[in-house]
Amino acid sequence: MLKRYFPIVEWLPGYDRQTLSQDLFAAVIVTLMVIPQALAYALLAGLPAVTGLYASMLPLIAYTVFGTSRTLAVGPMAIVALMTAAALSNIVATGTVAYSEAAATLAFLSGGMLMLMGVFRLGFFANFLSHPVVSGLLSASGVLIATSQLGNLLGITMSGFTLIEQLAGLITHWQDFNVLTALIGLGSLAFLVGMRRAGPTLRRLGMTTTLSGFITKAGPIIAVMISTLLVWAFNLEAYGVAVVGEIPRHLPPLALPSLDPTLISTLLMPAFLISLVGFIESVSLAQMLAAKRRQRIAPDQELFALGGSNLAAAVSSSMPVTGSLSRTVINFDAGARTPAAGSFAALGVALVTLYLTPLIHFLPIATLAASIIVSTFTLLDARGLKRTWHYSKRDFAAMLATIVLTFVSGVEVGVMVGVGLSLALFLYTTSRPHSALVGRVPGTEHFRNVERYTTEHDPSVALLRVDESLYFANARYLEDTVYAMVAERPALKHVVLISSAVNLIDASALESLEAINSRLNDSQVKLHLAEVKGPVMDRLKQSDFLDHLTGEVFLSTYHAWEALHDEKTVVKPTQDASSS
User: Which of 39, 2, 12 lies closest to 356 in space, CA to CA?
Assistant: 39
Predicted pLDDT of residue 1: 62
Average pLDDT over residues 383-393: 89
If pLDDT is split at 50, 70 and 90, which confidence band does 107 have? very high
Note the pLDDT tens digit of each residue in 469-511: 999 999 999 999 999 999 999 999 999 999 999 999 999 999 9
Q: How many CB atoms lie within 10 A of CB 149?
A: 26
Q: CA torsion angle for 354, 359, 362, 368 (degrees, to 10)? A: -70
* Residue 438 CA: distances (Å) to CA of 190, 443, 446, 474, 576: 61, 15, 10, 21, 16
Note the pLDDT tens digit of each residue in 325-380: 888 988 888 889 999 999 999 999 999 999 998 989 999 999 999 999 998 888 88
Across the chain, mean pLDDT equals 91
| 447-450 contact pairs (CB < 8 A, 24+) | 447/498, 447/557, 447/558, 447/561
Cα distance between residue 384 and residue 388, in whole Å: 6
If pLDDT is split at 50, 70 and 90, which confidence band does 575 have? low
**pTM summary value:** 0.83
Note the pLDDT tens digit of each residue in 222-278: 999 999 999 999 999 999 999 999 999 999 999 999 999 999 999 999 999 999 889
Query: Percentage of the chain with pLDDT > 90?
Result: 65
Predicted pLDDT of residue 578: 43
Cα distance between residue 68 and residue 4, in whole Å: 10
Q: How many CB atoms lie within 10 A of CB 63?
A: 28
Note the pLDDT tens digit of each residue in 527-536: 999 999 999 9
User: Which of 129, 140, 135, 79 lies closest to 389 in space, CA to CA?
Assistant: 135
* Residue 34 CA: distances (Å) to CA of 220, 313, 351: 9, 17, 14
Which residues on adjacent β-strands are paired with residue 495?
462, 527
Longest dimension (CA), the chain: 100
If pLDDT is split at 50, 70 and 90, which confidence band does 579 have? very low
Predicted pLDDT of residue 576: 47
Least trusted range by pLDDT, from 65-79, 129-143, 437-451, 482-496? 129-143
Average pLDDT over residues 522-528: 95
Q: CA torsion angle for 116, 121, 122, 123 (degrees, to 10)? A: 110
Tell me: pLDDT of 112 over 80: yes
Average pLDDT over residues 548-552: 95
Predicted pLDDT of residue 577: 42
Gyration radius of the chain over CA positions: 30
Predicted pLDDT of residue 15: 92
Note the pLDDT tens digit of each residue in 173-204: 898 899 999 999 999 999 999 998 888 888 88
Cα distance between residue 44 and residue 79, in whole Å: 9
Note the pLDDT tens digit of each residue in 73-87: 999 999 999 999 999
Cα distance between residue 360 and residue 39, in whole Å: 10
Least trusted range by pLDDT, from 302-306, 493-497, 563-567? 563-567
Most confident of 383-392, 404-413, 553-562: 553-562
| DSSP letter string, 443-462 | TSS-EEETTTB--BB-TTEE
Cα distance between residue 472 and residue 509, in whole Å: 6
HSE-CB at 178 with a 13 A cutoff on CA atoms is 22
For β-strands 494-498 and 526-530, DSSP reports them as: parallel
Predicted pLDDT of residue 468: 94
Predicted pLDDT of residue 564: 95
Cα distance between residue 241 and residue 312, in whole Å: 35
Question: Could you write out the three-class secondary structure of 295-311?
Answer: CCCCHHHHHHHHHHHHH
| DSSP letter string, 160-229 | -SSHHHHHHHHHHTGGG--HHHHHHHHHHHHHHHHHHT-HHHHHHTT--HHHHHHHHHTHHHHHHHHHHH
Q: What are phi and psi of 325, to 5 degrees?
A: -60, -55
Q: How many CB atoms lie within 10 A of CB 390?
A: 9
- Provide CB contacts within 8 A for 261, sequence distance 6+: none
